[in-house]
Amino acid sequence: MQVDITGHHVDLTDSLRDYVQQKFIRLERHFDNMVDAHVILTVEKLDQKAEATLQLGGAKLFADAVSGDMYAAIDALIDKLDRQVKKHKEKLTDHHRVEGLQAKAAGGDLEE
């Protein structure tokens, strides 16, 4: 997955870039079909804002977080994206019991 990081009114240090990269590795654990991510880190007066657009295979997710500390904003952003990725993955998984019912119907004659 390619992660693009942009800063508005903030200097992007190597430690900040590494921190964002490490956090996005956490998201790849849950869903490996991620294509692209674009992260924007912004400073507006006393607020530190982190927002990201995550492109998955077939979906586009967006989240943002505001905090007094940039690292806390990134943590909150990743938590929000993590929940969205899990929800998207659940939607892709078929949870119906059709297979189990078919197997039970086919094997039902063995009990007699």
Task: Compute the average pLDDT of residues 35-59.
Answer: 91
Q: Which two tokens stand for residue 4?
A: 């693009």
Q: Which two tokens stand for residue 20?
A: 């964002």
Domain of residue 91 covers 2-111
Q: Which two tokens stand for residue 100?
A: 């189990």
d(CA 112, CA 100): 20
- Please give the tally of structural domains in the chain: 1
pLDDT in tens, 53-112: 999 877 899 999 999 999 999 999 999 999 998 888 888 777 676 666 666 666 655 554
pTM to 2 decimals?
Answer: 0.78
CATH code of the domain containing 44: 3.30.160.100
82: helix, strand or coil? helix
d(CA 55, CA 13): 25
